[in-house]
Chain A
Amino acid sequence: MSATQTTIITYLGTPIFGICLSILLFLFGQWLFKIGKGFFLFQPLFVGMVLGIFVLWLMAKAFGVDVTWFYTNAYKPGGDIIFWFLNPATIAFAVPLYKRNDIVKRFWLEILISLIVGLFISLFVIYGVSKLLGMDNNGIASMLPQAATTAIAMPISGAIGGTPAITAMACILNAVLIYALATWLIKLFHLTEPIGQGLGLGTAGHTVGSAKALQLSSASGAMAAIAVVIISIVVDLVVPTFANFMGLIK
């Protein structure tokens, strides 16, 4: 290990660097979003992510160390602490879901059927689009499980011959994209019916999609929360079979 690397670990290796950087970038994103009058590319999460990657890349270049090494040793300790809080944050969606139990009790059959059928249709479209883009079997397999939450999608991706890191990237970008584009997409495709809107947002945008749906209406938020759970389990069951059927697993 070089002297620079030792210095970096001494001064930036504690979690507080990653925590401070994340908070600063997110607050900067919020400020930018406010003065940019809500321009979609200025969404705080998107700004925080892009600037964060840029800052880490810049610092790694300035210190003359490998970017991945710098990320793992300087940012990750703090990033992991923030990341851990996604556990209680995901559990928290039980509350908006419970508050709209009336919808769950009335529409549980429609919710279940729609998520299963919707996922099946989506898998065919995603398969076709990936094929058209000229991706190999490994790339296609990495795209298929992305509707599930990251912790489910990654092992499935590996099991059906994909690259778990690419699938994780897909899950993250799903969330970022939905957070940035949901309002516009809902208008574009006229997704005004709250149950479908919520299930769609939860499937495509995971927990972030649920937070977005909750801003639209309590009904939509509850549906998104239920979608996150059910779609993950449906992906668990359906995607390996689909991949097998499509000949992705040798």
Chain B
Amino acid sequence: MADKAKVTQTTSDEKKDAPILVQMGIFAAVLFVSSLISPLFPPTFPVPVPVIGLVLLYLLLTFHIVKVEWVDKFATFMISLIAFLFVPSGIQLTASLNIMKAQGLQIIIAIIISTVVLLVVVAYTTSFFIWIRKTVFHGDVSVSDEVKK
């Protein structure tokens, strides 16, 4: 078992990452197709381009049309930038300073509580349903921390 794991490890290490421009090209293509799909949804049920793109790339990976080493490096790089990419969104609040002046404190308190509520309620609800699977259906709920390459 351990040997087998080791073998898969080495073979996956030998897999070559695609050149970064190719990786960017795949991302660009997925974004482009998503931007064609997004307007097909009615205005009452908006689905933004990046959400479609995430699902699309996930499906391409799952059906092995796109290999993970073709997109892995660029994806890891983009994810490492997320906090920085959000700085302009934060600074965008400059444009809403007058709303803040009018009822800022109330809104901010409501947002802080809502954030904590969403995190805690969703986490506890999930733990509850996983507990049900474990105790009622005697299912296996162990989650390994190894990453499939």
Contacts and interface: CB of A to CB of B under 8 A. Distances in A.
Nearest to B83: A45
Interface in B57-96: 57-58, 61-62, 68, 71-72, 74-76, 78-96
Interface in B91-140: 91-99, 103, 106-130, 133
The DSSP consensus for interface residues of chain B is helix
Interface residues of B, number: 83
Contacts of B107: 135, 139, 142, 166, 169-170
Contacts of A78: 88
Nearest to B61: A98
B46 A236 contact: yes
B118 A147 contact: yes
Contacts of B78: 85, 88-89, 92
Contact of A152 (B51, B79, B96, B115): B51
Contacts of B45: 236-237
Contacts of A44: 83-84
B123 A196 contact: yes
Contacts of A11: none
Nearest to B73: A95
Contacts, number: 352
Interface in A90-142: 90-103, 107, 110-111, 113-115, 117-119, 121-122, 125-126, 129-130, 133-135, 139, 142
Interface of B: 27-28, 30-31, 34, 43-51, 53-58, 61-62, 68, 71-72, 74-76, 78-99, 103, 106-130, 133, 143-145, 147-149
20 contacts: A44-B84, A52-B94, A95-B72, A125-B121, A143-B114, A169-B93, A169-B99, A173-B115, A174-B118, A175-B86, A189-B120, A195-B143, A199-B126, A200-B119, A201-B119, A207-B82, A211-B79, A219-B143, A232-B48, A237-B45
Interface of A: 18, 22-23, 25-26, 43-46, 48-50, 52-53, 56-57, 67-68, 71-72, 75, 78-80, 82-83, 85-103, 107, 110-111, 113-115, 117-119, 121-122, 125-126, 129-130, 133-135, 139, 142-143, 146-147, 149-152, 155-156, 159, 163, 165-166, 168-170, 172-179, 182, 185, 189, 191, 193-197, 199-201, 203-205, 207-208, 210-211, 214, 217-219, 225, 227-229, 232-233, 236-237, 240
